[in-house]
Every structure is written in C-alpha cells, then in structure tokens.
Structure 1
Amino acid sequence: MSDIPTIKEIAKRLNVSVSTVSRALNDHPRIGLKTKQAIQNLAKELNYEPNPKAIFFKQKKSFVIGVILPLIAEDFFSKSISGIEDVAMEHGYTILFGQSHDSITKEQTVIEAMVKQRIDGLLISLSKETNKYNHLEALDKYNIPVVYFDRVPPFERASKVFCSVYKGTEQMIEWLFRQGRKRIAFINGPDEIAASRERLKGYMDGVSKKKLKIDMQMVEKTDLSEAGTQLAVNKLLNLKRPPDAIISFNDYVHLDAVKFALQKGVVVNEDILFASYANISANKHAAYPPVVSLDQFPYQQGQTAMNMLIDILNKKQLEGASQASFEQVEVPVSLVYS
C-alpha cells in the first residue's frame, strides 16, 4: 500500500512551493490557471485528501456537530437523526451522537464529553428530567452555539425548531367532539417537558371551546413508563363516569394504555376512542392504532434544526462573533387517521 499523498509530494513532483500547492487547491486567484490546473489534476490523480487537522487549525473548526437525543430507539428520534445527518453531509459536517436516556445527569455527561471533542455546535432534544439549563448555558463560554428541537426549553433566548402541539391538541379535541365524544380524557407526560405544558393548555382550551366542562379528574399523568401509564388508565376507567375518548402523550404511551384497557375489557376504539401524538411507523402494524395521531414531522424538524445550526456557524465564521440573535421555527403539524 502506498503512503497517503501530501501537499509536499505534489509540490516536489511539480517543482513548486508548498504554499503554491496550498493556494492552488484552495482556488486562490493569484495562482496562474496553467499551474492551478496542473496541481489540481495531480492531486486528483493521487487521490489527495486534505488533512482535517490542518483544516481545523486554519479555520478553527472541527466540522463535527454534537447531537443529543433522549432515545434513538424511539421512531420519532430515529427519523429526526436521518434528517440531521442528510443536511450535515451536504455541508461537509459529521455527527457525534449521544443519548440522554431521559436523564439530565447523562445529558450533562454527554455534553461534557462533546465539548472535549471540540464540537462546532450542538443540536439537542431535551431529556424529560431537564428543568435546569446551566449545563447548556455554559456552552456559551466555549463559543458553541446550540439549537434545540422538538423538546425545547421554555425561555425565549434560544434557537428552536418545534411543532405546535398546542394547536394539534385543539385539532384532536375538535375531531373527537365531531365523533360524538364528550368525555375526553388526557394522559399527559412529565411536567418538566415543555411539550407537556403545551399539550395540557391545548387540551384545556380545546375542551373549553366546545363548551364542555373541564373536569380535572379526566387529566392524568405518566412518567412515560408502562407502570405509570397503567396507573393513569386505571384511575380513568374507575371514574364514576369513565371517558369515551383518551388522548395519550405519545404513541408509545398509547400502546401501553391500550394494552391495559384491553385487560379491563374495554372495546378499544368503540367504547373509548384512543388518540395520540407522533404517528410512529409501528402504528400501521398495531392491532389497535390510535384513531387519530398527530404527525410532528421528525425528519423535517431534524433538517430544519441542522440548517439553522449551519447558518449560525457560517455567520459566526464570517462575523467572528458568538450567537447574538435567536431564531425560532414552527414546523406545521397534521392529523393522521387510522
């Protein structure tokens, strides 16, 4: 196997200086066309590849983006990472990927490791435990911009990509009401997740707009575990007047809710209509999919977030400044019916 070709080898073969080769490969206008073509042709012939460490030293960039997700096994996040990777590759970036497993401690640990790897920027969907943001705000001192997506923080001074689950929840309430359902229950997620608060507000406003009484006995929470969801469903089914529709925090919670409802003798999607969020791929194979699920377009969210971060990095390089302004993009949602 031959050695990896270098700028020095190209310079020696063509009897020019190393600086001339470097300028020619970077299309410098001061290098004559004939010389430039000779250098570029030889570089191509030798399969010359620029030294990434040299590029990093010159541009002060690693061309590596950190991405932290709660759990890659979830359909939503596996689709979003595909959108992120596709855009990153188009712009010459690679991805350093980590999972928080919905733990703020693990989220902090992964961020610390990524900072040591000298990432240029960070994309993150927050863990369900994240209600403090010191570990993320600390990235500012390293001049590492952050873009949040899907699970985003509640404060305004942040670049975010998200869907309006508030609007989507109102739309679900409207659809269920048109199906004749008047006792619509809601199984929400952990309070720490901003989307839980959005869902709850959408539920409350949606019910109010239909002139229905808001009964807080119809609102339960789950920690997203099967046991937590089972407890929530059990409370709803034991009400004096049980619900005729249940909206679950996401399709995974829905699957657990349906499993328990079936054990209790509920005729799913007849006695009780089940609605949910995310429109995961598994729904089409499920025996009892939600009658309606809110598609939050994870691939597009990933694409949009990555493009936003690259724009921030490009501006930072041109202007030599840290992130000064913040952009927020809302990706439209859509109801999907089974």
Structure 2
Amino acid sequence: MQSKPTTIKEIAKILNLSPSSVSRGLHDHPSIGAVTREKIKQLAKSLNYEPNNAAILFQKGKTYTLGVILPELSEHFFSTAISAIEDEALKKNYTVIFAQSHDSFDKEVQLVDKMKNQRVDGLLVSICKDTSNFDHFEKLKAFNIPVVFFDRIPPFKNAHYVACSLENATIKAVNFLLKKGHRTIGMINGPTTLFASGERKEGYMQAINFNRLKFDPSLVLNCDLTEEGTIEAAELLINHKRKPTAIVAFNDYVSLFLIKHLKKLKIAEEIDVVSYANLPMMKYLDYTPIASVEQYPYLQGQKATNILLDLINSQNTENQAFYNTLVESDLIINKKQNN
C-alpha cells in the first residue's frame, strides 16, 4: 500500500528544526543558511516530499480556479470559446472547471451553487435560454466571486459582460437581403427571455424602417431553438399571407432545421436563409444559409477571461464600473449562394 505523503513536520523532526524553518528553507528564504537549505531540500527530495498546494492556496485566499457554465459544450461556438478561456487562464496559472446547463434554468442554479462550494475565484457564464431570474448570481457577491457573462448575457447593463453586437449584425443581414431584391423577409427568432433575441428584432426593425418598408410584426416569430419549434415557426411563415422570400434564422442550428424542412417541402430553392454563428461545417453542406454572422467566439472567450482575471486581482471592487464589452460582427457571404 502507498504510504502517506511526507509532511514538513516530519522533515523538521528528522533535522531537529522548526516546521517554519523547513518551510522557509524550501522556499530559499535568506534567513536560512545555504548549508541548512541544501540539507532540507535533499531530505525532502529523498522522502518524495510534495508541497500541499491546497494549504498554500488556502493561506493566499485563492484557489486559482475559474468556473465556466455554458449551455452546451458540444456546440462549436462554445467549444471555440473554451479554447480561448483555457489559453488565457493557463497564462496566469489558473485551472478551469467546465459545466453545462443543457439550457435548463434549474440546472444552471444548481451549478452556480456547486461552483460556489468549489470556491472558484470567479465565474464565466453564458446563460441558458430560460434564465429570467438572476438571484443565483447575485448571491455570489457575498462570497466575493465575480461573474462575467459572455455571448448570452443578462438584459441589463449593471453586469460584467462580453457579447457580439447583434443589433448591428442583424441590420447588416437584413440590408444584404434587401439588396438582393427581397421585400418580404421573415425572422425565426429565439426565446423572448434571451436578450439576444431582442437585439435581433431591434436590428431587423431598424433595417426595415430605414429602407422605408412597413414593419410587419407577424413576420417575426419566436421559437425555443429546437427542431420542432423551428418547424412550427417555419410553417407559420410559409403559410403567411405575405409568404417571405427570405428568412433570418436565430443561429446556424435553427437555420439547418429550417432548411431541412424547406427541402422536405421541396421549396428550399425558393427561400434564402441568413443566419448567425458561421459554423465551419456549413461549407460542406449542399444547402446552407447564403450568409451567416461571424460572432468571433474565441475573441469573446478571450476578452471575458481577461476581464474576470482583472476583477479577481482588483484590490478595490466597491464602486467599480461594469465592463460592458461589445465585439463587432461580420456578415460572411457563402460563396455557393444557393440561388
């Protein structure tokens, strides 16, 4: 059986020194002579001594751990953001704990509590689609655990967040369709609980009004981001008295559900689709959105992590201004142009 790890007290007893002297010797403190330091290190090495990092971190009041809660780790957007988070955390010797809410509010609340119990130094979060109550994040203030939201963010400014400028992105998307000659443009938006859904709708309205077209609210539908919800919204648009010739979809996953349904109805070539996220896999498909908004997940993850590390290392958190960072988007045109 494996023996117990060697402790500083055991080394001190063998060398007839105090534990504090051994500790200082291991850390090359000048108050310990060179000969004694060498004896301490040689004995520690022969006994396979390893420092108790948990105790050291406890003394520092930090765990050097970041918590991350995302809707789905399998989504390309979030897996790309994860790479950035890990890269930035590693630079500052932080470990990262990842968890996924699977878009469940109850699970999100549970995970926030577990992260608190793990004593993470800070938390990065992309909220689930049903989150409308943020009390579980407010409770972290009592434990001095800062939170930075990214991509899916709360609908208020008194929070630290990094997100893509989706209002501007939607204006670009709708203007692109209008320039292609479309005059009846539908939108399959996300849940009303998501702040990003409101941004998309606002951008859509601005583009329509700016081009002196009449805004028709019945052409903007919300869905729960599932395939069933997408099909339900698609059917309403297809059977609308003003059948759209183009549809703006909430993201690439919704657009794939939509295009699959349009193909089934044999009308995929009649309706242009524009989307968000710009998934790499899209270029390998026969039918894809004709354009997709690039939201730069790596940059979002990078900026959010650096903001969180700044908050963790900030000496004065009272009356601190909130970080509200927007990443500009780009509309990426699909070269295939399914026309």
Query: Which of 303, 317, 323 is the matching residue for 1:327?
Result: 323
> Aligned partner of 1:273: which letter?
D
8 Å Cα contact 2:259-2:268 kept in structure 1: no
Aligned mates of 2:72, 2:319 — CA distance in 1: 28
- Paired letter, 1:81: I
Q: Helix, strand or coil for the counterpart of 2:191?
A: coil
Residue in 2 that maps onto 1:145: 146
Q: Which runs of 5+ in 1 are unaligned?
A: none
Q: Return the offset for 1:33.
A: 7.6
Deviation of 1:325 after TM superposition, in Å, equals 3.2
Corresponding residue for 2:113?
112
d(CA) in 2 for partners of 1:227 and 1:199?
A: 21
Aligned to 1:336: 332
Q: Give the 5 Å matches for 1:247-326.
A: 247-268=248-269, 271-315=270-314, 318-319=315-316, 324-326=320-322
CA contact (8 A) 1:65 1:93 kept: yes
After superposition, residues 23-62 of structure 1 pair within 5 angstroms as: 23=24, 26=27, 49-62=50-63
Counterpart in the other structure of 1:222: 223
CA distance in 2, matches of 1:230, 1:73: 23
- Counterpart position of 1:94: 95
Deviation at 1:40, TM superposition (A): 7.3
Q: Deviations over 1:126-168 (max 9, x none)?
A: 1110011111111111211111111111122111111101111
Answer with 201-210 or 189-198: which moved more.
201-210
Does the aligned pair in 2 maintain the 1:69–1:125 contact within 8 Å?
Answer: yes
Q: Give the Å deviation of 1:213.
A: 1.7
Specify whether residues 136 and 245 from structure 1 end up closer, same or farther in structure 2 by C-alpha distance, changes over 3 A only.
same
1: CA distance, partners of 2:294 / 2:15:
58
Structure 2 partner of 1:208: 209
Q: What's 1:84 paired with?
A: 85
User: Residue 275 of structure 1: SS of its match in structure 2?
Assistant: strand
Question: Comparing 24-33 with 52-61, which one deviates more in the overlay?
Answer: 24-33
Pair 1:211–1:47, CA change in 2 (3 A) = farther
Q: 1:236 to 1:90 in 2, by over 3 A?
A: same
The CA deviation at 1:19 is 3.0
Whether the 8 Å contact between 1:312 and 1:323 is mirrored in structure 2 is no
- What SS is found at the alignment partner of 1:92? coil
Q: By how many angstroms is 1:42 displaced?
A: 8.4
Which one-letter code corresponds to 1:194 in the other structure?
Answer: F
C-alpha distance 48-298 of structure 1, shift in aligned 2 (>3 A): farther
Q: CA distance change for structure 1 residues 155 and 106 in 2, over 3 Å: closer, same or farther? A: same
Amino acid at match of 1:246: I
The separation in 2 between residues aligned to 1:105 and 1:2, in whole angstroms, is: 43
Name the SS of the counterpart of 1:228 in structure 2: helix
Q: How many residues align?
A: 333
2 CA distance for matches of 1:5 and 1:38?
16
**Shift in Å at residue 190 of structure 1?**
0.2
Q: What CA distance in whole angstroms lies between the structure 2 residues aligned with 1:282 and 1:14?
A: 64
Partner Cα distance (2:247, 2:278) in 1: 16
What's the CA shift for 1:285? 2.2
**Contact 2:80/2:298 (8 A) holds in 1:** yes
1:335 partner letter? L
Distance 1:150 1:19 in 2: 48
C-alpha deviation, 1:104, in angstroms: 1.1
After TM superposition, give the deviation of residue 246 of structure 1 in Å: 0.7
Distance 1:172 1:124 in 2: 27
Deviation digits for residues 201-234 of structure 1, max 9, x if unmatched? 0110011112222122221111111111101111
Q: What SS class does the counterpart of residue 286 from structure 2 fall into?
A: coil
CA separation of 1:24/1:306 partners in 2, compared to 1, >3 Å: closer, same or farther?
Answer: farther
**Cα distance change of structure 1 residues 106 and 37 upon mapping to structure 2, 3 Å threshold:** same
1:145 touches 1:322 (CA, 8 Å); kept in 2?
A: no
Q: TM-score, normalised by structure 1?
A: 0.88
Equivalent AA in structure 1 for residue 161 of structure 2: K
Q: C-alpha distance in 1, partners of 2:330/2:47?
A: 51
**Would the alpha carbon gap of residues 297 and 37 (structure 1) be closer, same or farther in structure 2, given more than 3 Å must change?**
farther
- CA gap 1:273/1:44 in 2 versus in 1, 3 angstroms: farther
**Cα distance change, pair 135–284 in 1 and its aligned pair in 2 (3 A):** same
Query: What pairs with 1:176-191 in structure 2 (closer than 5 Å)?
Result: 176-191=177-192
- Cα distance, 1:188–1:7 mapped onto 2, change above 3 Å: same
Moved more, 86-95 or 30-39: 30-39
Aligned partners of 1:125 and 1:149 also within 8 Å: yes
The 3-state SS of whatever aligns with 2:307 is: helix
Structure 1 position 54, deviation (Å) = 1.2
Residue 162 of structure 2 corresponds to 161
Coordinate RMSD, CA, aligned:
2.6
C-alpha distance in 2 between matches for 1:295 and 1:249? 13
Percent of paired sites with the same residue: 45
